[in-house]
Structure 1
Amino acid sequence: MNAVIYHNPECGTSRNTLALIRHARIEPQIIDYRTDPPDRTRLAALITAAGLTVRDAIRQKGTPYLELGLDDLALDDAALLDAMRAHPILINRPFVETGMGVRLCRPSEVVLEILPAIDGPFTKEDGEVVGR
């Protein structure tokens, strides 16, 4: 199975998601979205395929969300996507795409919905055990 993860190696959730993918014996294509963000069309497609709204896919914590005025509910999707492209840290993470679908993997075990069954439990960085 092929998999793509839009990854931030500084994020524990993103690291746990990557480790879960590898636990499923899949070596994904890893894209550091901060330095190589998806283009506007691809970003919109990922968000839609994950069943989210553009606003749902924006990260607020640790980003310039408020400084950019993105809390203005009058902003349309086009303006929000433009902000996400201009400031990739606004893209919530990690998005994962496999042949089974696309998910925003928060929490990290959401990735299990789009992976084949894993062998045995997996222990996250914080000690929490997950698996099916």
Structure 2
Amino acid sequence: MLRLVVIIPFIIVLIVVMLVNIDPINVKFIIAEWKTSIGLFSLIWGLISFFVGALTVFISLVGQWRRTRKAEQKVRELEKQLTDLQTRYIDLTTQHHASQAVLQSSSSPTPTSSTSSYEDVTLEN
């Protein structure tokens, strides 16, 4: 929409200049020479300038599109690495908790008698 706001008034001004200035003039360009109205010459020159500008912008956009694609590919690679690292972290933490549970269950004392050693110590005193 913004492009139209810029382009439409530009073209309208060129057309008005073309319609107002209909007197023919001699136009010399390097080796060529012809007669045309200043309005038509302005319109043609404006359109040529517009297309050269559009081509310049398009060329710069192509470079930007390439950089964008490379950046998106890098993001996908980094997201994959992050997912792999998260999976490895989860696996390692679950293994660690499982080994801690096994160690705690094997190191906990099992009572051999119905009375505890604490009761034996208190009875002796």
TM-score normalised according to structure 2 size: 0.20
Q: Which has the larger radius of gyration?
A: 2
Q: Which structure: greater helix fraction?
A: 2
TM-score normalised according to structure 1 size: 0.19
Q: Which structure: greater strand fraction?
A: 1
